[in-house]
Amino acid sequence: MTPDTRPAAPQPHAPATESQDTAPGYAAAQAAYDAAQDSGDMVQCLAPDGTVVREDLLPEPATRLELYRQMRRARHFDERGWVLYRQGRLGVFPPFGGMEASQVGTAAALTKDDWLFPTYRDTGAALTLGLPIARTLAYWRTSPHGWHMPADLKVLPFYIPIATQYPQAVGAALAERRQGTRNVAMAFIGDGGSSEGDFHEALNFAGALNAPCVFILQNNGWAISVPTRAQTRATDLSRRADGYGIPGVRVDGNDALATYHVTREAVERARSGGGPTLIETVTYRVKPHTVADDPSRYRSEADTAGWDAKDPVTRLRTHLLNAGLMTEASEADLLAEIATEFEAALAEADSYPEPTPAEILDHVFAEPTPQLQKQRAEILAEHTAQDSAQNSKEQA
Ligand SMILES: Cc1ncc(C[n+]2csc(CCOP(=O)(O)OP(=O)(O)O)c2C)c(N)n1
Ligand SMILES: [Mg+2]
C-alpha cells in the first residue's frame, strides 16, 4: 500500500464553547474593539472620551453639527420606540440605540439621488436620508401606510430576510450606471448576515462588474443570541473584501466623524467609477435584539456596561462642547425641536386609518397570485367568524 503523501488535513476549528461565549462576563466584543483601536487598524477621528485623534479627518463644523442633530433624532426615535411598544402603539421594533454613529455617519454621505437598502436594524440610517418619521412609525406599527416609500426617496423598505438586500443593491447600482448617472447604492448588513451566501455573492458580483456600491457591515457583536466570535472564525470582517478584490475598511462604528469620513471616500470612489467598497463599522448592540428579546438569557449586564463609555452620542457631544461649536443652551433648543418634530409625526401616524386584516396581503404583488387570493379569503372568513362570535357574546 502506497503511503499517503497528502498534507495532513487542517484540524477543524474548535467551535466556541458555550462557557467561553455566553458565560457572564463574556467580553469578546469589547476586547475586539479595544484590540482594533490599539492596533490602529480601525479608522478613528475621536477617541471614546471625545478628544480628537485625527485632526485631518475632521469634517466642516456645520457637518459635525448636522451629524449630531441626526444622531439625536435617531436616538429620540429609538427611545420613544421602546415606550410606544410598551404602550401597544408599535407592533415590533428592533432598537439600534448605541449604533447611531454607524448608521447616521454612513447614510449622511449619500444624497437623495442615491439608493439605501436598510435592514430592520437601520431606522437611524433611513431617517437620516429623509424617510419621514410618521411613515417609519407606521411601518413598525405594521400599518400599510408605512409600506410605501416616498416617491422622491430611493430608500427600500426595511429588509427582514437577512442578506437579501445585498445582491439587490448591486442590481440597483448597475442600473444607475447603465442609465449614465453617478448615483450609488448603499446596503447595510450585520455581522451575522455576513455569513450568508447572498453577502458573498453580492461582493463578488459587485467586484467583477465594478458596481458603484458601498457595503456597510455593522459588526455589533451579536446575531440575536450568537456572538460574532461563535458565528465566524474571521476576526476582522473588513478583510472579507480581500476575497473579492475590493477595498475593505475598518472603522470605529461609535465615532460618527470617522464613519462619515470613510463612507464619503467610498461614495466618491463609487461615483467616479472606482467600484465598490466594504466598510466594517465596529460597534455594539447595547439593546436587546428586538423589543421581544430577553438578552439576560444569553449575556450579562456587565457585558454591555463597558459600552457606555464608548457611546457615540456622548462622544460627539463632548467634542462639540469642547470645540465651542455647541453650548448647553443651543443643545437644549435642538433637543426641544427634535421632540416637537417627533410628537407631530406621531400625531400624523395616529391619524392614519386602522388597517383592515386582509390588507396585509394587498401589496405583496401588483396582481395577487391564486395562493394569495386563497389566503385573503381565509383571513376574511376567520375575521368574520370572530366578529360574529364577539357579537353574539355581547348580545348574550
Ligand atoms: C434569511 C434569514 N435567516 C434567518 C433569519 C432570522 N434572523 C433574524 S435576525 C437574525 C440575526 C442577524 O444578525 P446580524 O446580521 O448580526 O444583524 P443584527 O440583528 O445584529 O443587526 C437572524 C438569524 C432571517 N430573518 N432571515
Ligand atoms: Mg449583529
For 124, the 3-state DSSP assignment is: helix
For 85, the 3-state DSSP assignment is: helix
Give me the pLDDT at residue 31, please.
82
| One-letter amino acid for residue 160 of the chain | I
Residue 77 lies in a domain: yes
- CA 224 to centroid of ligand 1, rounded, Å: 7
Asked if residue 362 and residue 337 are part of one domain, the reply reads: no
Give me the pLDDT at residue 8, please.
53
The tally of domains found in the chain comes to 2
Task: Please identify, among 315, 330, 351, the residue that sits at the C-terminal boundary of a domain.
Answer: 351
Residue of 120, 122, 162, 293 best suited for mutating to test ligand 1, as the one with most atoms within 8 Å of CB: 162
pLDDT tens digits, one per residue of 101-131:
999 999 999 999 999 999 999 999 999 999 9
| Distance, CA of 50 to CA of 68 (rounded, Å) | 13
Give me the pLDDT at residue 142, please.
87
Asked if residue 331 and residue 190 are part of one domain, the reply reads: yes
| One-letter amino acid for residue 252 of the chain | D
pLDDT in tens, the chain (396 residues): 455 555 554 444 444 444 444 444 456 788 888 888 888 889 999 999 999 999 999 999 999 999 999 999 999 999 999 999 999 999 999 999 999 999 999 999 999 999 999 999 999 999 999 999 999 999 999 898 898 889 999 999 999 999 999 999 999 999 999 999 999 999 999 999 999 999 999 999 999 999 999 999 999 999 999 999 898 999 999 999 999 999 999 999 999 999 999 999 999 999 999 999 999 999 999 999 999 999 999 988 887 888 999 999 999 999 999 999 999 999 999 999 999 999 999 999 999 998 888 888 888 888 999 999 999 999 999 888 887 777 777 777
Residue of 189, 222, 224, 228 best suited for mutating to test ligand 1, as the one with most atoms within 8 Å of CB: 224
- CA 162 to centroid of ligand 1, rounded, Å: 5
Give me the pLDDT at residue 284, please.
96
Give me the pLDDT at residue 79, please.
98
Asked if residue 223 and residue 115 are part of one domain, the reply reads: yes
Asked if residue 376 and residue 265 are part of one domain, the reply reads: no
Asked if residue 372 and residue 261 are part of one domain, the reply reads: no
- CA 15 to centroid of ligand 1, rounded, Å: 20
Domain of residue 321, CATH code: 3.40.50.970
Q: How far is residue 198 CA from its own chain's centroid?
A: 17
Give me the pLDDT at residue 3, please.
53
Asked if residue 281 and residue 389 are part of one domain, the reply reads: no
Asked if residue 365 and residue 347 are part of one domain, the reply reads: no
Q: Write out the catalytic residue numbers.
A: 285, 289, 298
Question: Ligand 1, atom 19: nearest CA belongs to which residue?
Answer: 223
Please report the atom of ligand 1 found closest to the CA of residue 289.
Answer: 19
Residue 62 lies in a domain: yes
Residue 11 lies in a domain: no
Of residues 48, 42, 78, the one with CA closest to residue 261: 42
* 150-165: burial string, b at 16+ Cβ within 10 Å, e else: eeebbbbbbbeebbbb
Using the Cα atoms of residue 105, residue 320, residue 317 and residue 221 in order, give the sign of their dihedral: positive
* 359-382: burial string, b at 16+ Cβ within 10 Å, e else: eebeeeeeeeeeeeeebbeebeee
In terms of Cβ atoms closer than 10 Å to its own Cβ (0-12, 13-18, 19+), residue 171 is middle
Asked if residue 365 and residue 259 are part of one domain, the reply reads: no
Residue 94 lies in a domain: yes
Residue 273 lies in a domain: yes
- CA 349 to centroid of ligand 1, rounded, Å: 28
Radius of gyration of the chain (CA): 23
3-state secondary structure 160-219: CCCCCHHHHHHHHHHHHHHCCCCCCEEEEEECCHHHCHHHHHHHHHHHHHCCCEEEEEEE
Cell of 82: 421602546
Q: Relative to the alpha carbon of 219, which ligand is closest?
A: 2
Residue 292 lies in a domain: no
| Distance, CA of 36 to CA of 48 (rounded, Å) | 13
Cβ contact 235:275 at 8 Å: no
pTM: 0.91
Task: Please identify, among 316, 333, 351, the residue that sits at the C-terminal boundary of a domain.
Answer: 351
Asked if residue 135 and residue 33 are part of one domain, the reply reads: yes
State the residue range of the domain holding 114: 22-287+299-351
Question: Ligand 1, atom 4: nearest CA belongs to which residue?
Answer: 162
Task: Write phi, then psi, for 4 (nearest 5 degrees).
Answer: -75, 110
Please report the atom of ligand 1 found closest to the CA of residue 219.
Answer: 16
Alpha helices in the chain (DSSP H): 18-22, 28-39, 61-86, 100-107, 123-129, 133-140, 165-178, 197-209, 228-231, 256-271, 301-305, 312-322, 328-351, 370-395
Residue 320 lies in a domain: yes
Around ligand 1, the residues with Cβ closer than 6 Å are 121, 160-162, 190-193, 220, 222-224, 285, 289
| Distance, CA of 24 to CA of 38 (rounded, Å) | 25
Residue 322 lies in a domain: yes
| Distance, CA of 292 to CA of 209 (rounded, Å) | 41
Alpha helices in 243-311 (DSSP H): 256-271, 301-305
Asked if residue 227 and residue 124 are part of one domain, the reply reads: yes
* Number of Cα atoms under 13 Å in the Cβ half of residue 317: 17
| Distance, CA of 343 to CA of 316 (rounded, Å) | 25
Asked if residue 365 and residue 332 are part of one domain, the reply reads: no
Cell of 252: 470605529
For 43, the 3-state DSSP assignment is: strand
Task: Check residue 159 and report its DSSP letter.
Answer: B
Asked if residue 256 and residue 362 are part of one domain, the reply reads: no
Give me the pLDDT at residue 360, please.
83
